[in-house]
């Protein structure tokens, strides 16, 4: 936690466009750490910082840097900020991610459409994610959410969780199943959330 805060403060002192993604990563790591410690309000503040830095970084990015709008939306969903998530979803779709050739771009669009409640459109894009190298379990979970296929979703999200539990590397070295938290947030809105228990999820 202190490492992430230190990295963020250091980056702010020598702020330049190249620093923005690293600042977003550090703030995201700090937010996840605080979430796992049960400090939800402070976690939300750091996740908001992550979204802000990643969105700012888009101005200096290539047109296919879809990981940035994905991070922006994920951070808002994990923070539980529905208003921010909706605003970021509209922004992401305005960038043209729904028409992206790459699966990662269409992933950004799928998340955005689910945030906006446009499940039918999201379902078509989620189906298009069932290609290598996109994680098949994440694609299956998104299809399950967008089609209200409860059984399919619950099996898929457990597979996503297992993929986190069996990996050796995590973003910012913070062992948290952040994608699972995001999927559960979207599923919960539709009454589909699964009962999950893991040391990689907040209590």
Could you tell me the pLDDT band of residue 9, with boundaries at 50, 70 and 90? Answer: low
d(CA 88, CA 39): 24
d(CA 10, CA 22): 11
CATH fold group of domain 2-188: 1.25.40
Residues in CB range of 13: below 8 A, 6 or more apart: none
Sign of CA pseudo-dihedral 87, 49, 29, 16: positive
Could you tell me the pLDDT band of residue 171, with boundaries at 50, 70 and 90? Answer: confident
**Domain boundaries, given as residue ranges, for the chain:** 2-188
pLDDT digits (tens, 9 = 90+) for 86-142: 999 999 999 999 999 999 999 999 999 999 999 999 999 999 999 999 999 999 999
Per cent of the chain over pLDDT 70 is: 92
8 A C-beta contact, residue 97 and residue 106: yes
């Amino acid at each position: 936690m202190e490492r992430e805060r230190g990295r963020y403060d250091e980056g702010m002192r020598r702020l330049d466009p190249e620093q923005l993604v690293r600042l977003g990563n550090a703030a995201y790591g700090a937010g996840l750490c605080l979430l796992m410690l049960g400090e939800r309000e402070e976690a939300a503040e750091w996740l908001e910082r992550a979204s802000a830095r990643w969105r700012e970084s888009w101005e200096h990015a290539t047109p296919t840097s879809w990981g940035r709008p994905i991070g922006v939306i994920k951070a808002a969903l994990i923070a539980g900020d529905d208003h921010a998530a909706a605003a970021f979803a509209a922004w992401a779709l305005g960038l043209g991610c729904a028409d992206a050739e790459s699966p990662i771009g269409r992933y950004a669009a799928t998340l955005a459409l689910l945030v906006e409640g446009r499940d039918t459109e999201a379902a078509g894009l989620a189906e298009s994610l069932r290609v290598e190298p996109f994680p098949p379990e994440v694609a299956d979970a998104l299809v399950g959410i967008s089609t209200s296929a409860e059984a399919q979703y619950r099996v898929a999200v457990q597979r996503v969780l297992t993929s986190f539990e069996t990996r050796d590397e995590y973003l910012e070295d913070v062992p948290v199943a952040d994608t699972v938290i995001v999927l559960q947030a979207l599923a919960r809105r539709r009454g589909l959330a699964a009962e999950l228990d893991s040391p990689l999820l907040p209590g």
